[in-house]
Amino acid sequence: MRRTSIRVRIFLIYAISMLSILVLTFFLVRMVSSRVMEKTLSEYLMSAVDLNADMLYFVSEKRSDTTNLYIDYNGGYLCIDDDFLNILNDVQSALYTGEGELLYGDGSLTLAMSKEPFTTARLYKTVIENEEYIVYDRSFSQEDLSSLWIRGVVPVTQSRLQIIQITKSVLAFLPLILLLIFLISLGAAGTILSPIRKMEETASGIVSGDDLRTRIPEPKANDELSHLAKSYNMMFDRLLASFERERNFISDASHELRTPLSVIMTESEYALSSPKTGEQYVDSLGVIDRQARRMKRLVTDMLDLSRMEQGHQKYPLAPFDLSALCMEVCEDMSRLMINAITLTYDIADGVILTGNKKLIERMLINLIDNAYKYGKKGGHTKVSLSPDGLLRVSDDGIGMDELQQAKVFDRFYRAEASREEIPGYGLGLSLVRQIVNYHGGSIELSSTPGAGTTFSITFRYVN
């Protein structure tokens, strides 16, 4: 199926729209002009009849002047001024008696119109010999002229001829108008599509060159195209960040898995190289077991992170007693006394959270375990839960500077100063943040080098 370009479609829509508006406007103007001209013609007809009526008067005796016309009427004479015109700019006037007898007038039209009944001061249309006329009748208020009528008629053809002339003038300019519509439509289509074409070229360059750092130029106008360009750039930013995270994740995971695998392979080669005593075999198996467990924890955390990113179907949410869970975890963890650190806790009763109990338990264990790792020997760690569901885990350990705080939630990140001294592989806090996000909560970090660290967690679904 042949594809029609957007430019052609915009051009056709714009041209057809303008042409339709032009045609509609022409017909509206023609209709309005016809009505205006007909109204003007009617008003002119009324003025002409009224003017002729003012040139008539009744006298009892005929005067000797030769300029006026005298007609016997009602025991006297009708004096018709010499300015009374039978035809004035296509308006024909005639005098009739109330019975329709023609007293003064000229032409077959006036005779034909004598058969029409008279109406007082009303305009109406009639057709005579296939031609349409506007008619206006007027009677006289003077007592001597009470049975006298003056009738004026004008053909509608005059106004129609003017409309036809206007139409011909418009049609004469139609080719020029169509050319202007074509040029304007073509230019408008090009102007509208210019920023879109730039977006397309940039996006194609990103796809073909595999460079997500290139950005689409954003139009200066604050319109839909500007918002579209911003949305695309934000999408590229997120894709770039996601690709870099995955690249770093794979690199760091490979690095973290390589060490235990190397230890397992080395220990296996040592155990198989020559006969060993039972105690030596037990020692080798112990080393292999520890490294295998370390790998299992790493792989499990990696899978949990991946599953939480997939959605809620992997870890269903349900209401549970957060206070009881925190109490149980703190009681169990306080018995460890790692690095002679004392764990204290202040847990409010009756806090109910809608979430996944196993994930929240794992989150709290990771936070306390992190406090044990980085707390000072013989120091203190405190866990608190307020009635509104605010959970805090604090220690008085080594603390973190601003650079470390910015990276502490990244996968596989561990402070360089503690990378060798403190066991672990840097997924604990990354998993904590993912669990908090999974529950629609937020986590805040407050830390001072040498003074300790506090993690504050708030949950959305707490009652």
pLDDT band with cut points at 50, 70 and 90 for residue 428: confident
Supply the pLDDT for residue 251: 67
User: What is the pLDDT confidence band of residue 89, given thresholds at 50, 70 and 90?
Assistant: low
Pick the last residue of a domain from 279, 310, 341. Answer: 310
> Within a domain: residue 215?
no
Q: How is residue 1 annotated by DSSP?
A: -
132 neighbors 125 (Cβ within 8 angstroms): yes
Selection from 75-84, 212-221, 315-324 with the highest mean pLDDT:
315-324
Residue 392: helix, strand or coil by DSSP? Answer: strand
Same domain, 329 and 264: no
Is position 119 within any domain?
Answer: yes
Residues 281 and 390 in one domain: no
Q: What's the CATH code of the domain at 280?
A: 1.10.287.130
Residue 309: pLDDT over 70 = no
Is 90's pLDDT higher than 80?
Answer: no
Of residues 92 and 207, more confidently modeled = 92
Integer-rounded Cα Rg, in Å, for the chain is: 51
Instruction: Clarify whether residues 302 and 353 are in a common domain.
Output: no
CA distance 272 to 274: 6
> What is the pLDDT averaged over residues 361-367?
89
What per-residue confidence (pLDDT) applies to 97? 82
* Same domain (yes/no): 231, 324: no
Task: Please determine, for residue 176, whether its predicted confidence score (pLDDT) is greater than 70.
Answer: yes
**Short-list 184, 186, 195, CA closest to 7:** 186
- Amino acid in position 120: T
Q: Looking at the domain assignment, is residue 193 inside a domain?
A: no
Residue 287: is its pLDDT beyond 70? yes
Last residue of a domain, one of 291, 310, 329: 310
Q: 234-266: per-residue pLDDT in tens? A: 887 777 777 776 776 676 667 667 767 887 888
pLDDT at residue 423 in the model: 45
Distance between CA atoms of residues 299 and 82, nearest Å: 120
Please state, rounded to an integer, the average pLDDT across all residues of the chain.
78
Identify which has the larger pLDDT, 420 or 60.
60
CA 345, CA 394: separation in Å to the nearest integer? 10
Q: What are the residues whose beta carbons fall under 8 Å from the beta carbon of 420, sequence distance 6 or more?
A: none
Provide the number of structural domains found in the chain. Answer: 3
Are 304 and 337 within one domain?
no
CA–centroid distance for 210 within its chain = 30
320 and 305 co-located in one domain = no
Report which of 370, 438, 376, 444 is spatially closest to residue 405, judged by C-alpha positions.
444
Q: Which of 50-59, 66-75, 274-283, 391-400 has the highest mean pLDDT?
A: 391-400
CATH no. for residue 400? 3.30.565.10
Q: Identify the H or E element spanning 363.
A: helix 357-374
CA angle (347, 352, 357) in 5-degree steps: 90
Alpha helices in 137-216 (DSSP H): 157-172, 174-209
Q: Which are the contacts of 83, defined by CB distance < 8 A and separation ≥ 6? A: 55
371 close to 437: Cβ distance less than 8 angstroms:
no
Whether 64 and 76 map to the same domain: the answer is yes
Q: Which two tokens stand for residue 327?
A: 């109490």
Q: Are residues 299 and 327 in the same domain?
A: no
Cα 432 to Cα 413: distance, rounded to the nearest angstrom:
13
Distance (Å, whole) CA 191 – CA 451: 62
* CA–CA gap between residue 425 and residue 136 (Å, rounded): 106
Q: At what angle do helices 428-438 and 278-310 cross, to 10 degrees?
A: 30
Assigned token pair, 340: 């002679």
pLDDT at 353: 93
The answer to whether residues 333 and 440 belong to one domain is yes
CB 15 within 8 A of CB 185: yes
Q: What is the CATH number of the domain that holds 107?
A: 3.30.450
Question: With pLDDT > 90 as the criterion, what percentage of the chain qualifies?
Answer: 11
Phi, psi of 255 (to 5 degrees): -65, -45
pTM: 0.47
Is it the case that residue 76 has pLDDT exceeding 70? yes
Strand, helix or coil at 447? strand
In this prediction, residues 12-38 reach a mean pLDDT of 78
Identity of the amino acid at 269: E
In terms of domains, do 266 and 406 share one? no
Q: Are residues 19 and 151 in the same domain?
A: yes
Element (H, E) at 335: none
Q: Could you say which DSSP state residue 462 is in?
A: B
Looking at residues 322-346, what average pLDDT do you find? Answer: 89
Q: Is the pLDDT of residue 342 over 60?
A: yes
Judge whether 197 lies within some domain. Answer: no
Of 194 and 365, the structure prediction assigns the larger pLDDT to 365
pLDDT higher at 132 or 195: 132
Q: What is the pLDDT of residues 371-422, one digit of tens each?
A: 888 888 889 999 999 999 999 999 988 888 888 887 887 766 655 444 344 4
Produce one character per residue of 124-143: b if its CB has 16 or more CB atoms within 10 Å, e if not: eeeebeeeebbbbbbbbeee
User: Residue 452 belongs to what domain range?
Assistant: 314-458
Tokens of residue 70, six digits: 């005298």
Instruction: Give the model's pLDDT for residue 307.
Output: 67
**Of the candidates 171, 204, 238, which is a domain's last residue?**
171
pLDDT value for 311: 56
d(CA 235, CA 133): 74
| pLDDT the model gives residue 87 | 63
CB atoms within 10 A of CB 67: 7
Closest-CA residue to 302 (of 359, 249, 374): 249
Mean pLDDT of the 296-324 span: 75
Most confident of 50-54, 188-192, 313-317, 323-327: 323-327
Q: Which two tokens stand for residue 116?
A: 């029409």
Task: Return the closest-CA partner of residue 202 out of 237, 169, 233.
Answer: 233
